């Protein structure tokens, strides 16, 4: 059974622990439970369609399809390009959600002492000034929103300014120079082209049936516009075809070989090729769905559920579940506390972690081993034991430099000299040694393997 650590999610794009504690806007591809499904059970497809090169960073440009899209894209009901639709919106009395230009959705809570201050994940902050909201991170990223829409994005040493026309972004500029342009069909209002540093991506549009329900029965309530094809600069393309099944439930086919069906009212996924889904919807706007899926060909069954209140993840295959429990608060918030294996009414502990008051991992317990880590007064790990046997050790001098290191049967000794040079001796279990000397610029000056001097240069 695969072990997968999930995390905190909001509105269609899962926010794992690594992203919560990262600094600034993540450039990684938005992810969720698994490919094709978001944390609330909607169909979700994420495709990188290009990159926007700035003076200091290369920004990925993602196209996202989500059947439960809470953000009304100016281009299509379910398709969205976050770089062109980044927003900061208030969703309840104390909560704001920021959709970043790379597709991650980040929650901001109003500060208890000052309602104009917003507290976000990973140390991010926000400030409300009339119809302007500024959001920033400790590492320098900054986003400015006016009436909810992004107007400025600073990342690393680049500042991007958004230019709007007719309520939609027409250009993104850096230092006054357009680096992104949007081509719009003046007759239909459809986005036909996207120029990323003058590299063109084309879009083609079609129609699909708009399914509605009345009295438990589905019917076609008309037709609506939808994206049908993305053509990349190299001529390759991504094709989307929409249809309906015998029950008048929507179908989307990607590149002719992957067919996904969903519920027309809730947007919850029903099937993805040979995988059939049973979704127990989340209890509220921020909650997680309980997701069961079964492969009709292999018979393999899986279960996925994240309980953010109890800080647990439960997932498994063919009736054998694995539950991961996290710490709720303090310096250990988000760290794994224990993992249990559950089969029917029986459960057993397969992993337990213990930490000291400084958040250092001091013990890990599994059914077959106990791993103990020891730290010095400076919080440096100096020793690791497995089932009582020392497997790793490090010693430091009074200047914090490593003087001895033992990793299993391999040992290293380090000597430091007044002129900045250093000697490193590698000692194998057989007693065989390798001696390496370097100068103050860390350039090799001598290499001795066993009794043989291989290189002897000048310091």
Greatest pairwise CA separation for the chain in angstroms: 89
Are residues 174 and 160 in contact, defined by beta-carbon separation less than 8 angstroms?
Answer: yes
Secondary structure letter of residue 30 according to DSSP: P
Are residues 351 and 361 in contact, defined by beta-carbon separation less than 8 angstroms?
Answer: no
Phi, psi dihedrals of residue 351, rounded to the nearest 5°: -165, 135
Burial category of 379 from C-beta neighbours within 10 Å (exposed 0-12, middle 13-18, buried 19 and up): exposed
d(CA 56, CA 34): 32
Residues in the chain, overall count: 459
Give the domain ranges of the chain: 7-303, 372-456
d(CA 161, CA 177): 10
Provide the pLDDT for residue 139: 86
Tell me the two tokens of residue 372.
């103990």
Provide the pLDDT for residue 69: 65
* Structure-token match 């049936």, residue found: 209
d(CA 72, CA 269): 20
User: pLDDT tens track of the chain, all 459 residues?
Assistant: 433 333 333 333 444 333 344 577 889 888 777 789 988 899 999 999 999 999 999 999 999 998 886 555 666 668 889 999 999 999 888 899 999 999 988 889 999 999 999 999 888 999 999 999 999 998 889 999 999 999 999 998 999 999 999 888 999 999 999 999 999 998 888 899 999 999 999 999 999 998 988 888 999 999 988 999 999 988 999 999 999 999 999 999 999 999 999 999 889 999 999 999 999 998 876 788 999 999 999 999 999 888 877 888 898 888 899 999 998 778 888 899 999 999 888 999 999 999 999 999 999 999 999 999 999 999 999 999 999 999 999 999 999 999 999 998 899 999 999 999 999 999 998 999 999 999 999 999 999 999 999 998 864
Provide the pLDDT for residue 141: 93
- Number of other CB atoms surrounding residue 395 within 10 Å: 15
Phi, psi dihedrals of residue 168, rounded to the nearest 5°: -125, 155
Contacts of 288 by beta carbon, 8 Å cutoff, 6+ apart: 9, 39, 40, 282, 305, 306, 307, 308
Provide the pLDDT for residue 75: 65
d(CA 63, CA 49): 6
Burial category of 304 from C-beta neighbours within 10 Å (exposed 0-12, middle 13-18, buried 19 and up): buried
The DSSP element (H or E) to which 84 belongs, if any, is: helix 82-85
């Amino acid at each position: 059974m695969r072990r997968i650590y999930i995390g905190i999610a909001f509105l269609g794009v899962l926010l794992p622990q690594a992203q919560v504690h990262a600094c600034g806007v993540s450039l990684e591809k938005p992810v969720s439970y698994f490919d094709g499904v978001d944390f609330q059970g909607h169909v979700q497809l994420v495709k990188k369609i290009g990159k926007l090169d700035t003076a200091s960073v290369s920004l990925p440009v993602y196209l996202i399809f989500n059947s439960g899209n809470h953000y009304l894209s100016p281009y299509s009901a379910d398709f969205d390009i976050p770089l062109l639709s980044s927003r900061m919106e208030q969703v309840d009395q104390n909560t704001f959600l920021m959709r970043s230009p790379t597709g991650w959705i980040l929650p901001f809570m109003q500060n208890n002492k000052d309602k104009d201050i917003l507290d976000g994940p990973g140390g991010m902050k926000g400030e409300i000034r009339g119809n302007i909201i500024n959001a920033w991170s400790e590492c320098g990223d900054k986003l400015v929103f006016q009436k909810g829409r992004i107007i400025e994005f600073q990342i690393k040493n680049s500042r991007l300014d958004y230019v709007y026309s007719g309520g939609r972004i027409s250009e993104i500029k850096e230092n006054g120079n357009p680096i992104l342009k949007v081509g719009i069909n003046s007759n239909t209002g459809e986005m036909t082209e996207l120029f990323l540093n003058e590299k063109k991506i084309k879009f083609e549009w079609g129609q699909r049936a708009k399914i509605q329900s009345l009295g438990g029965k589905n019917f076609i309530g008309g037709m609506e516009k939808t994206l049908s094809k993305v053509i990349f600069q190299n001529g390759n393309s991504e094709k989307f075809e929409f249809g309906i099944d015998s029950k008048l439930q929507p179908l989307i086919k990607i590149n002719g070989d992957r067919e996904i069906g969903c519920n027309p009212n809730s947007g919850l996924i029903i099937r993805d090729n040979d995988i059939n889904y049973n979704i127990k919807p989340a209890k509220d706007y921020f909650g997680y769905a309980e997701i069961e899926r079964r492969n009709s060909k292999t018979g393999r069954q899986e279960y996925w559920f994240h309980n953010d209140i109890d800080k647990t993840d439960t997932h498994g295959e063919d009736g054998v579940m694995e539950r991961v429990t996290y710490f709720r608060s303090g310096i250990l918030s988000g760290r794994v506390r224990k993992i249990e294996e559950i089969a029917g009414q029986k459960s057993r502990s397969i992993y337990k972690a213990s930490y000291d008051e400084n958040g250092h991992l001091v013990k890990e317990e599994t059914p077959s081993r106990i791993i103990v880590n020891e730290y010095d007064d400076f919080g440096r790990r100096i020793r690791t034991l497995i089932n009582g046997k020392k497997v790793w050790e490090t010693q430091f001098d009074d200047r914090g430099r490593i003087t001895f290191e033992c990793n299993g049967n391999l040992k290293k000794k380090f000597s430091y000299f007044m002129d900045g040079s250093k000697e490193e001796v590698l000692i194998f279990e057989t007693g065989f040694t390798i001696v390496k000397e370097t100068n103050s610029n860390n350039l090799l000056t001598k290499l001795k393997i066993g009794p043989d001097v291989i290189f002897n240069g000048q310091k």
